[in-house]
Structure 1
Amino acid sequence: MNVKPGISVVVPVFRSAATLALLHRRLVSALEEMAIHFEIIFVEDGATDTSWTAIQSLARDDDRVVGIRLSRNYGQHNALLCGIRAACYSSIVTMDDDLQHPPEEIYKLLEKLDEHCDVVYGTPEREQHNFWRDQASRITKIVLQGAMGAETARHASAFRIFRTRLRDSFCNFRGPFVSIDVLLTWGTTRFSHIAVRHEPRVVGVSNYNVRKLFNHAMNMVTGFSTIPLQLASMIGFGFTLLGLGILAYVLGRYLIEGVSVPGFAFLASIIAIFSGAQLFTIGIIGEYLARMHFRTMERPAYIVADTVMDATRRDENAVSNTSVDNM
């Protein structure tokens, strides 16, 4: 695919029909003011509302809009991967569809990208989520830092800009578990961030809750690092030392005092501790085995059900109607 100078804005869409028109107007206004070539790629992620109808209407009225509809709900990062692979300009901006990421702040990201960076995150000056969502987001970023091995992970955000050439590093990525932030580390170590406005949600509530953020954190760690396995090894080693210490205590008391350690409670506690440690480590190993199982099934990260774009652009930048592995 030929890459041209300009910006491709990728927006995963899920149940946001009410905000798409306003988001489009603000994006067009902000990008035209920057006097740069651009396209807006809306990836509809299996929503059940009228989001796809709204995207089709925007694409008919504006030939810079590309609409991609996935066959079902695959998740935000999977939808982002689809849009990233369809982008045709030299820089890619990703942002949410709820207008909490102001389009007017894109110029800050672009200016920072020119300072010898490959990826720039738009870090919110002040989060506009509820308390539990904010705490879950912080925990996810800490986990992401472990998976990425980069301090910038603490400032990670869905509002980001990066050089399109980075996608070459994960062009052959296969599997249903996707983390765009981790995939970007496969192509560069030059990350940065800049403070941007973070506005209150205009319509509805966030589709990301604490459970989804926890699942995303688990997918990142078990899918892109071996930290849990190392933790399991450390736990096993630690409890081995504990067992040797208990054995030394029992033998020492018998040899010195001539009596054994009495009590069912003592034995039951030791058995419970060791059993819990074993089940925990087996669970970690099971998580990795499950991901290996899913990879052998060759489940695609997404499947495109429909696309809408200008006829000329369709010839230049066709989006495959099959999985990511065929793109």
Structure 2
Amino acid sequence: MNNSKYASVSVVVPVYNSEQTLPELIARLRQVLEPVTETFEVILVNDGSKDDSWQVIEMLAEKDSAVLGLNLMHNYGQHNALLAGIMHVQNEWIITIDDDLQIPPEEIPKLLEVLIEGYDIVYGNPENPEHSLWRRLSSKIVKISLGIVLGAEMGAKSNAFRAFRTELRKGFLQFTDARVSIDVLLSWTANHIAAVKVAHKARQYGCSGYTLRKLLSLTLSMVTGYSTAPLRIASCLGLFSALVGLVIFIYVIIQRFIHEVSVPGFTFIAAEIAMFAGMQLFTVGVIGEYLARMHFRTMGKPSYVVRKKTGNGSLSE
């Protein structure tokens, strides 16, 4: 790493039950950022933690003028917490990193070195992820859904460890949906995207807040919230079932009038009805998901609500 100074940097960290890692995280972030930028801030967004994370954030903000703490009303989810932090950023570049120290803060300069070349977003992809088998499989499912929504390139590169230009948020300043995907929002304005390999360590404290149910829910939310692919699949299934029904009808007519044989069997009719009914219910379910999204948007449910702030971030420097 050279000694050149980068643009002013804001680090946004979604916090959930991380009272043990936060002091070390802030200390390491300061060590990393002080040599490479003159102005930086760290925004810690407490997303409804059940431990003493907010008390730790208040203590850190009191001791360190670069720390800004946001305490959300309840647990909104990682992406909503990130959005809250991004909307409070004051600097030119934004870095998002998890609070568990699995990706070392010392990897941040790798992102900055690429971002300064003119890219809009730079993702840090773990070289050897220290995840369990089920977590790797569920993450793969999320990657596939992101590929559907964002396109193959960005979907393959996306990761929670990212650096991007603050000006990208101009594209979603008016965003109001309660369900948020930061990568989708960034894709609305980003053009040049890059990715670098970064180290990934085993978790030292606690366990991941993401369960299989939450990851699958996030996947469904992204696909139905930001893509028409499910509707197209439902349309294709409807067309397929109609063609199958037509073929069966022609077969029955041929058997009856040419060969003078009736197609026997209650089982045959029951199977046909069950297949078509299943496809119809699937299609109705998909349409219902989209209608539900529209319904919740009209309710005006916010993406997040900040209960309390602590510290002044870069304003105090």
Q: Normalising TM by the smaller chain, what interval?
A: over 0.9
Corresponding residue of 1:141: 143
CA deviations on 1:9-31 (whole Å, 9 max, x unpaired) are 00000111111001111111111
Check the 8 A contact 2:39/2:314 in 1, yes or no: no
Check the 8 A contact 1:109/1:194 in 2, yes or no: yes
In terms of mean alpha carbon deviation, does 148-157 or 194-203 score higher? Answer: 148-157
The number of residues matched between the two structures is: 312
Residue of structure 2 aligned with 1:81, choices 80, 83, 96: 83
- One-letter identity of the residue aligned with 2:8: G
CA deviations on 1:90-147 (whole Å, 9 max, x unpaired) are 0000010000111000000011112221011100001111000100001111110110
Corresponding residue of 1:313: 315
Cα distance in 2 for partners of 1:256, 1:128 equals 66
TM-score normalised by L of structure 1:
0.93
Corresponding residue of 1:323: none
Corresponding residue of 2:39: 37
Q: Secondary structure at the match of 1:129?
A: coil
Corresponding residue of 2:3: none
Corresponding residue of 1:322: none
Residue of structure 1 aligned with 2:72, choices 50, 64, 70: 70
Corresponding residue of 2:209: 207
Check the 8 A contact 1:121/1:159 in 2, yes or no: yes
CA deviations on 1:214-264 (whole Å, 9 max, x unpaired) are 111111110011110011101101111111011011111112210110001
Matches within 5 A, 1:103-118: 103-118=105-120
- One-letter identity of the residue aligned with 2:191: T
Check the 8 A contact 2:12/2:43 in 1, yes or no: yes
Corresponding residue of 1:302: 304
| 1:130 equivalent in alignment to 2:136 | no
Q: Secondary structure at the match of 2:42?
A: strand
Task: After TM superposition, give the deviation of residue 7 of structure 1 in Å.
Answer: 0.7
Structure 2, unmatched stretches of 5+, are 1-5
Corresponding residue of 1:61: 63
- One-letter identity of the residue aligned with 2:186: L
Check the 8 A contact 2:9/2:37 in 1, yes or no: no
Check the 8 A contact 1:152/1:193 in 2, yes or no: no
CA deviations on 1:162-211 (whole Å, 9 max, x unpaired) are 00000000000011010000000111221111100011111011011211
Matches within 5 A, 1:1-327: 5-310=7-312, 313=315
Cα distance in 2 for partners of 1:116, 1:5 equals 12
- One-letter identity of the residue aligned with 1:68: L
Q: CA RMSD in A?
A: 1.5
- One-letter identity of the residue aligned with 1:287: E
Q: Secondary structure at the match of 1:18?
A: coil
Cα distance in 1 for partners of 2:152, 2:111 equals 19
Cα distance in 2 for partners of 1:90, 1:176 equals 26
Cα distance in 2 for partners of 1:151, 1:137 equals 16
TM-score normalised by L of structure 2:
0.96
- One-letter identity of the residue aligned with 1:240: A
CA deviations on 1:59-83 (whole Å, 9 max, x unpaired) are 0000000000001110000000000
Q: Secondary structure at the match of 2:163?
A: strand
Cα distance in 2 for partners of 1:260, 1:73 equals 62
Cα distance in 1 for partners of 2:87, 2:191 equals 21
What stretches of structure 1 move > 3 A for 4+ residues in a row?
none
Task: After TM superposition, give the deviation of residue 311 of structure 1 in Å.
Answer: 8.9
Check the 8 A contact 2:66/2:314 in 1, yes or no: no
Task: After TM superposition, give the deviation of residue 312 of structure 1 in Å.
Answer: 8.2
- One-letter identity of the residue aligned with 1:100: Q
Cα distance in 2 for partners of 1:33, 1:301 equals 35
